[in-house]
Amino acid sequence: MMIFADVQEAAERLEELIELARQDEVYVCRDGRPVARLTAFSSSPVLGSDQPTKSLGDGVAAASASRIAEAGRPSSLDDVWAIAATGRPKGVDLTSAHDDFYDADGAPR
């Protein structure tokens, strides 16, 4: 069975949705469109439910990055934060400015 929950409802009922995710497909929606899916680790070949996890100290569970990385890309939020903590690589000239889309007066080109 597929279960759809709005982001606010999912935040309020997270424990219940986690239990439901063991046997059903649970989707979290924003504006009526699915943006996330809850899945159980017991059905994942990467981590089993009987495998202990390491704690980061604030109650967040973590696993080895080498075991949860898929196709060379980080697949957990902990991995993303670890990459972000290293800082932006030198020589990368990226900005968030969109100056090429606007003229000197701020009008679209």
pLDDT tens for 17-74 read 999 998 889 999 999 999 999 988 755 455 555 556 555 554 444 444 444 445 555 4
In the chain, residues under CATH classification 3.40.1620.10 are 1-39
Structure confidence at residue 61 (pLDDT) = 45
User: Cα–Cα distance between 83 and 28 in angstroms, integer?
Assistant: 26
Paired tokens of 87: 């800082």
Look up the CATH number of domain 1-39: 3.40.1620.10
Residues in Cβ contact with 87 at an 8 Å cutoff, skipping those fewer than 6 apart? none
Per the confidence metrics, is the pTM higher than 0.75? no
